[in-house]
Amino acid sequence: MRAREWAEREGLNEQTVWKWCREGKMPVPVEKTATGVWLVHDPKYELGSTPASAGRTVCYARVSSSDQKSDLVRQADRLKAFAVSMGVGDPEVVSEIGSGMNDKRRKLSRLLADPTVTTIIVEHRDRLARMNAGLVESALAAQGRRVVVVDDTELDDDLVRDMTEVLTSFCARLYGRRAARHRAESALEAA
């Protein structure tokens, strides 16, 4: 996991953690990637060593439309490879086609409702939910479950993330209304 995430989980200031990484004073193993990102390998948070690993680990892959099915297959393969590299024996893969704005995705709802699923692996945070993915993570953490994000290179600025989520919501509502209006107009024309 990234140093920032480890600092949050441990209740430390991320500047302190980065300083420890640079000076070699970290209490757990760390590595620096080619892009300069510090990765922390804390055994208590690794997939294969937590008490939560007694349950099922599921890789959740999602794309927005059916014309992206080839992307869905590649995403599922990358997630499965990541889970295997983290020590999961035979990870289960759940694939779904549906909008990230839709809160009625059946397969994701089943995963979230199933208490035997203790770890959900997603490629990007927005594959789980376009908005309020943090709330889903917090609710799962309260149950002793967790979400593992493979590529967490999203924007770190909370204001930028919030604005993006608001704009996405407005656009979805606008285009949804427009589509509904067009459907109503075509129904009237047909009648």
> What are φ and ψ of residue 11, in 5° steps?
75, 30
Beta bridge partners of 96: 62
Q: With CA atoms as reference, report the closest residue to 56 among 118, 12, 101, 99.
A: 118
Give the Å distances, CA to CA, from 41 to 5, 30, 46, 49, 116: 11, 6, 7, 11, 25
The verdict on whether 53 is a catalytic residue reads no
**Chain Cα centroid distance, residue 98:** 15
Catalytic residue among 49, 53, 64, 66: 64
Q: With CA atoms as reference, report the closest residue to 53 among 111, 116, 3.
A: 116
Two tokens at 141?
């953490």
Q: In whole angstroms, what is the distance from residue 174 CA to residue 177 CA? A: 5
Task: Name the strands in the sheet holding 56-63, side by side, starting at the edge strand that comes first in the sequence.
Answer: 92-97, 56-63, 117-122, 146-149
Two tokens at 67?
């014309």
Catalytic residues: 64
